[in-house]
Amino acid sequence: MAKNFVLLAYANASPFPYHSWTPLSILSVGSYLEKHGVEIEYFDERIHKKERFQELLSKKPLMVGLSTMTCYQIKNTLRLAAKVRNIDLGIPIVWGGCHPSMMPEQTLESNLVDFVVKGEGEQTVLELVRALEAGRKEFADIDGLGWKNDNKPQLNKDRGFLNIEDLPFPYEGKGREILEIYINKSDDYLENIGYESSRGCPHKCGF
């Protein structure tokens, strides 16, 4: 494992055991980072043992990325973020997904959040990774990023939409390992295997 690997995590999003699907939100970002030479590790709380998260944190990732939706998943994401803080105060915690995109300022108010990624995260996270690798403390030039300057929330300008045809297949690289776990699960219910053919919402969603 490379010294500066990135850990991308997905907390349990539903109280129902049959409500499970491949975590495209972290797989799409992860496959993009892998394409650009960044070492990735995944933690999906619904299929991985909890010890895996602790073990990966003990290896000092460059950052931990947490994807979350509003409602049930937030409390579990906060729990994972608290574990990061308890193990190492120096590991940056990055929140992305629907809720942080809709409410970035509120999200940044938490002491369990260092950065917020608004909207599509692939390029924003890659630029943040490069900045952290370089030891930078100022991030105003990274579009789509929310961060803290002297503990005061700062929101950079939004990033434009990415061309989905330029993005790698989310099940490439280490994403394939997660896909195989979902395919081979032996429960009495079928898992949802996501495939991304377009982005955006045809309705009046705010994310």
User: Between 2 and 196, whose confidence is greater?
Assistant: 196
Among 77-81, 114-118, 190-194, the least confident range: 190-194
User: Between 164 and 62, whose confidence is greater?
Assistant: 62
Helix, strand or coil for residue 100?
Answer: helix
pLDDT greater than 60 at residue 175:
yes
**How far is the C-alpha of 160 from the C-alpha of 23, rounded, in Å?**
23
Q: Taking CA 19 as the corner, what is the angle to CA 18 and CA 21, rounded to the nearest 5 degrees?
A: 110
Q: What local confidence, expressed as pLDDT, does residue 205 receive? A: 67
Q: What local confidence, expressed as pLDDT, does residue 76 receive? A: 95
Of the CATH numbers 3.40.50.2300, 3.40.50.1580, 2.40.30.40, 3.30.1330.10, which one belongs to the domain with range 6-184? 3.40.50.2300
Q: What local confidence, expressed as pLDDT, does residue 14 receive? A: 83
Q: Which are the contacts of 9, defined by CB distance < 8 A and separation ≥ 6?
A: 26, 42, 43, 44, 45, 53, 64, 65, 66, 67, 80
pTM across the whole model: 0.91
pLDDT tens sequence across 141-164: 999 999 999 989 999 999 998 888
Chain-centre distance of CA 197, in angstroms? 20
What whole-number percentage of the chain has pLDDT above 90? 72
